[in-house]
């Protein structure tokens, strides 16, 4: 896990498999020459979280004692040494003034958008590291970190840059010619044709217009009372017959 120091400093780990592997860093030609001018997109340095504007203060190989301090008078040579594969720990700053106590090292600070992207990349790398270890099994730390760099470089990263504000269209402010044209278009046109008088509510409808006919409702057919009585008597006889059959009082004459 990346340590969060009180000062604007950051420690970044970079994996080097061989001496000829490019990191993708372009250093400054002016003092401080340890300032990063450009980082190649999707390179090892980019996947590690390095940004343009960062100043390298010190370098050391992992599992060693002290940092080799850099004063900004000469360009760094990160491919030095003969121990490969290895992990380099880079001590960087992004404040812009008084880098690590060197008062002559003053440059532009990193933008907040780039710092947010670097923090997201380094945080995501910690998650990918667990997956790489589970996939590769027991392996050298530099090999695992190099594979993490490759996985990070293949991922899609949204830079979250702020969009330029679109100019708000003026609704009530315009030129004189446009205003005159709008008034001309909105002015009602006069016609010499007299409008036809609208009929009064109390006037009867004209013969040409169809009159409104009310909805016709079908009447139910009336049933004679004698038929109703006969139907009810039949239902009563059937009910009495069923009740008698249930009580066992119904005697059927056998022939």
What is the spatial distance between Cα 73 and Cα 204, in angstroms, rounded to a whole number? Answer: 106
Most confident of 147-161, 189-203, 207-221: 147-161
Nearest to 8 by CA among 80, 128, 93, 110: 93
Find the range with the poorest average confidence among 50-54, 150-154, 220-224: 220-224
Specify if 161 maps to a domain.
no
Specify if 239 maps to a domain.
no
Q: Tell which wins on pLDDT, 156 or 35.
A: 35
Specify if 59 maps to a domain.
yes
What is the spatial distance between Cα 171 and Cα 183, in angstroms, rounded to a whole number? Answer: 15
Specify if 224 maps to a domain.
no
Find the mean pLDDT for residues 183-193. Answer: 55
- CATH code, domain carrying 140: 2.30.42.10
The model's pTM: 0.56
Find the mean pLDDT for residues 172-185. Answer: 56
> Helix or strand or coil: residue 240?
helix
Cβ pair 104, 20 in contact under 8 A: no
Specify if 85 maps to a domain.
yes
Q: Pull the structure tokens for residue 232.
A: 């009810």
pLDDT digits (tens, 9 = 90+) for 14-55: 999 998 889 999 999 988 899 999 999 999 999 999 999 899
Phi, psi of 118 (to 5 degrees): -65, -40
Specify if 213 maps to a domain.
no
Can you give the residue range of the structural domain that contains 28? 9-154
Q: Tell which wins on pLDDT, 53 or 179.
A: 53
Q: Structural domain tally of the chain?
A: 1
């Amino acid at each position: 896990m990346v340590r969060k120091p009180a000062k604007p400093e950051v420690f970044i780990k970079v994996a080097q498999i061989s001496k000829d592997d490019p990191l993708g860093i372009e250093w400054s030609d002016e003092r401080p020459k340890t300032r990063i001018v450009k980082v190649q997109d999707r390179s090892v340095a980019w996947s590690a979280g390095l940004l343009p504007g960062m100043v390298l203060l010190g370098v050391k190989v992992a599992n060693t004692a002290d940092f080799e301090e850099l004063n900004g008078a000469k360009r760094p040579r990160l491919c030095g040494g003969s121990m490969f594969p290895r992990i380099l720990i880079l001590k960087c700053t992004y404040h812009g003034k008084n880098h690590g106590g060197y008062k002559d090292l003053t440059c532009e600070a990193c933008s907040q958008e780039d710092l947010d992207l670097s923090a997201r990349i380094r945080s995501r790398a910690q998650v990918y590291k667990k997956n790489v270890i589970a996939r590769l099994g027991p392996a050298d730390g530099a090999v695992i970190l190099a594979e993490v760099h490759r996985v990070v470089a293949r991922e899609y990263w949204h830079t979250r840059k702020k969009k330029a504000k679109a100019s708000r269209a003026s609704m009530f402010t315009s030129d004189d010619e446009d205003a005159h044209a709008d008034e001309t278009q909105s002015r009602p046109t006069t016609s010499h044709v007299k409008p036809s008088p609208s009929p009064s509510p109390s006037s009867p409808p004209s013969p040409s217009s169809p009159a409104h006919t009310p909805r016709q409702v079908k009447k139910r057919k009336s049933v004679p009372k004698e038929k109703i009585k006969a139907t009810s008597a039949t239902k009563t006889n059937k009910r009495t017959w069923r009740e008698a059959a249930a009580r066992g009082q119904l005697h059927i004459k056998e022939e």
